[in-house]
Structure 1
Amino acid sequence: MPINAAAPDAPFFIALNAGSGHNETEERRSIIESVLGGAGRRFYLTVIDAPGTIDEIAARLARQAADAGGVLVAAGGDGTINAVARQAIAHGCAFGVLPQGTFNYFARTHGIPEELDEAVHALLASTLQPVQVGMVNERVFLVNASIGLYPKLLEEREVDKKQFGRSRLVAALSALKTILSPHRRLRLVLNLDGKLQRLRTATFFVGNNRLQMEQIGIAPLSDALEDGHLAAVAPRTKGKLGMLWLLLHGALGRMGRLDQADELATFSFKQMQVKVKTLSRRRNIKVATDGEITQLSNPLEFRVMDKQLLLLKPASHRPTE
């Protein structure tokens, strides 16, 4: 049964991603326990040691949170937040976030501090507010969903992070390496309100995060997200230098506006079908949702979900840069 308000003493059911190592996990656990224990708030913390168990653990905690009138809390990066949020939506329970990732777009958009100690304190003082959820086929995304070059970029970034560590610099250099490597362009047929449009692009990106749209300089699309739409972005450029220019231009954020560039197709929508034209008989397409790679059936159906996520936000939140 959906919750319209979280009680001031609602217990927290926390899924903590083990992250980089034992010592770091224990430090995070200690901070969470110290702050919540000091506030006299009931909580139940479960550490996710193996990535393959996250759905099972999140579903169990979501059932417990729904039965107890509690709050399901994700402590991790955008991928962890996505997995736990899916269960919060499915079980109709309130949702909270303790961001622990590299970019933390979801948390930053909703004014949730990136420092763990501050985030736990903010969780205690937050109010429940509805948040828009995107869907591709039956897969939830809170930040973005994409096909083509971007999923490849994410896969190679994870390999590089394991070798060189998790940082925004490593992520940027890994992206540069991927863009300069050989890649194929997608042939897409878009069905938007019954009108067909053909598009050739290296990657097709659908955003559901205002901060990310602002940082790559597409302010009109960030406004559309506030109006219940999703944002579509696709580079038309063919060459590697053009793709590199778009990457650097996006990295400069507010110093430029990509929506005015001829090399970029941008528009907003509430529902759209995307068919990927392939020469093979493969029926599945590799799709990245909030940084996690999955295989989904072709064509892809993108839409705004009717049900919203009930998120605990700081009362007077401001998006962090």
Structure 2
Amino acid sequence: MRPCVALLSCRPVTLPTAVASAPPEFAADGPLLIVLNAGSGRADADETQRTISAILDAAGRPHEVLRIERGMDVAQVAAEAVRRAQGRRGAVVAAGGDGTLNAVAQVVLPAGLPFGVLPQGTFNYFSRAHGISSDTEQATRALLRARPEPVQVGLVNERLFLVNASVGLYPQLLEDREAYKQRYGRSRLVALWSALVTLLHVYRPLRLQIECQGRQQPVRTSTLFVGNNRLQLQQIGVPEADLLAEGQLVALMLRPVRTLAMLGLMLRGAFGRLGEAEDVLRFGFERLGMRPAAPRRTARVKVATDGEICWLRAPLTFRVSPRPLWLLTPLPEDRVEPA
């Protein structure tokens, strides 16, 4: 029998959370505090900064660039950007990949400031889903005319995620992929090879206690993946992606399967057909509790949020944030359709 079948009915009926907060004060000529990750993506950070500054200077838009160099704490730099933007009707802009966006948004969200994006990463799921170009020049020009719009974000305990959060095999895949990238460079081939190596090792499935809409049920799964990005879910073939527009998150749980079957699931996802797999359970929710079935007194769980690994104390609660992130969204004529 497939696990956790009862949770398929976990459908809240509340209105989307992201419309419940008043928009922040924002001036079209307000300062832009740009947090630039010098190590994101493949572009030269100095050239990226020159491009951004040249466009903003030509437009007469006040701005400051706060660079994140190797070894620096992203949260501290983002907090300084928030401090400088507050009271000036300005905005904080993250220039980096999804991990950088996550770290900066973690600080911006409670401050209630507008949040801008200049994508510099490899996948850029968050920016692409909102029509923001991956070309720095084009994205900067669009930022000049962008206006704040409420965007739903997810939380696992109090940690924010823009794209996805997960426990189990998926965080291990991400951790191993990063180690391989450090040794062999960033490429899709390296990412694929690291995934194959990870899957060839024996991985013990998770035994979890899941709670949703007042129902509790034990499950056994190789991974629990929670999505908050319509583009990513659509690309792997998950029809529940439309539930995000209803103020929900989307959960995927994979049955424990052998290596060859897991490779088959990966191929289905690569070809946009994961939703057809019988070994994947999918459902929408607004709040989902999770803990190890036999937790230790101080149980900690490895969690991936937007590609970054952390350890959180159990139990975990996945939920829609009670406040939206006010994203500086391009005007319709500046939007770029995701490739």
* 1:30 corresponds to: 50
How far 1:179 moved relative to its partner?
Answer: 2.1
Determine which of 275, 295, 303 is the counterpart of 2:291: 275
Q: Deviation at 1:10?
A: 1.4
2:338 alignment partner AA: T
Structure 1 residue runs of 4 or more that deviate by more than 4 Å after TM superposition: 20-23, 278-282
The amino acid across from 1:119 in the alignment is A
How far off is 1:178 after superposition? Answer: 1.6
Instruction: Give the aligned partner of residue 328 of structure 2.
Output: 312
Q: Deviations over 1:139-167 (max 9, x none)?
A: 11110000111111111111111222223
Q: Distance in 1 between matches of 2:256 and 2:216?
A: 21
Higher RCO (CA-CA < 8 Å; seq separation 6+):
2
Q: Is the 8 A contact 1:141 1:290 kept in 2?
A: yes
Give, in whole Å, the separation in 1 of the partners of 2:189 and 2:80: 36
Give 1:171 deviation, angstroms: 2.2
Q: Which residue of 2 aligns with 1:265?
A: 281
Please say which of residues 63-72 and 140-149 is displaced more in the overlay.
63-72
TM-score (norm 1): 0.94
Question: Is the contact between residue 88 and residue 95 of structure 1 (CA under 8 Å) also seen in structure 2?
Answer: yes
Shift of 1:176: 2.6
Aligned residue pairs total: 317
Match of 1:4 in 2: 24
Partner of 1:231: 250
**What does residue 15 of structure 1 align with?**
35
User: Which residue does the alignment assign to 2:183?
Assistant: 163
Deviates more, 1:275-284 or 1:138-147: 275-284
Query: What is the root-mean-square deviation of aligned Cα atoms in Å?
Result: 1.9
Q: Which amino acid aligns with 1:58?
A: A
Q: Is 2:303 the partner of 1:287? A: yes
CA separation in 2, counterparts of 1:292 and 1:276?
Answer: 21
2:313 alignment counterpart: 297
- Cα distance in 1 for residues equivalent to 2:117 and 2:152: 15
| Corresponding residue number in structure 2 for 1:62 | 82
> 1:137 and 1:87 mapped to 2: Cα distance?
15
**Stretch moving more, 273-282 or 103-112:** 273-282
Give the % identical residues: 47
Between stretches 267-276 and 3-12, larger displacement belongs to 3-12
1:185 aligns with 2:202: no
Q: Is the 8 A contact 1:211 1:319 kept in 2?
A: no
- Structure 1 position 282, deviation (Å): 4.6
SS of 1:67's equivalent in the other structure is: coil
Q: TM-score, normalised by structure 2?
A: 0.89
Task: Provide the C-alpha distance between the structure 1 equivalents of 2:42 and 2:235, rounded to a whole number of angstroms.
Answer: 34
| Separation in structure 2 between the aligned mates of residue 79 and residue 168 of structure 1, nearest angstrom | 17
Residues 33-44 of structure 1 mapped to structure 2, 5 A cutoff: 33-44=53-64
Q: For 1:100-157, what per-residue CA distance to the aligned partner results, in whole angstroms no more than 9, with x for missing partners?
A: 1111110111111111111111111212110001011111111000011111111111
Alignment gaps of 5+ in structure 2? 1-20
Question: How far is 1:2 from its partner?
Answer: 6.5
- Separation in 1, partners of 2:292, 2:336: 38
Q: CA 1:206–1:22 in structure 2 vs 1: closer, same or farther (change >3 Å)? A: closer
1: distance between equivalents of 2:37 and 2:322? Answer: 29
Question: For residues 57 and 2 of structure 1, what CA distance do their matches in structure 2 show?
Answer: 26
Residues 49 and 149 of structure 1: is their aligned pair in 2 closer, same or farther, counting only changes over 3 Å?
A: same
- What amino acid sits opposite 2:311 in the alignment? Q
2:158 to 138, 142, 146: 138
Report if the CA contact (8 A) 1:235-1:243 is conserved. Answer: no
Distance 1:21 1:116, change over 3 A: closer
- The match for 2:271 among 226, 236, 252 is 252
Q: Which moved more, 1:296-305 or 1:16-25?
A: 16-25
> Relative to 1, partners in 2 of residues 1:279 and 1:189: Cα closer, same or farther, differing over 3 Å?
closer
Q: Which runs of 5+ in 1 are unaligned?
A: none
Q: State whether residues 265 and 277 of structure 2, in contact with CA within 8 Å, keep that contact through their aligned partners in structure 1.
A: no
* Residues 307/173 of structure 1: CA separation in 2 closer, same or farther (3 Å cut): same
In structure 1, the residue matched to 2:105 is 85
User: 2 CA distance for matches of 1:310 and 1:37?
Assistant: 24
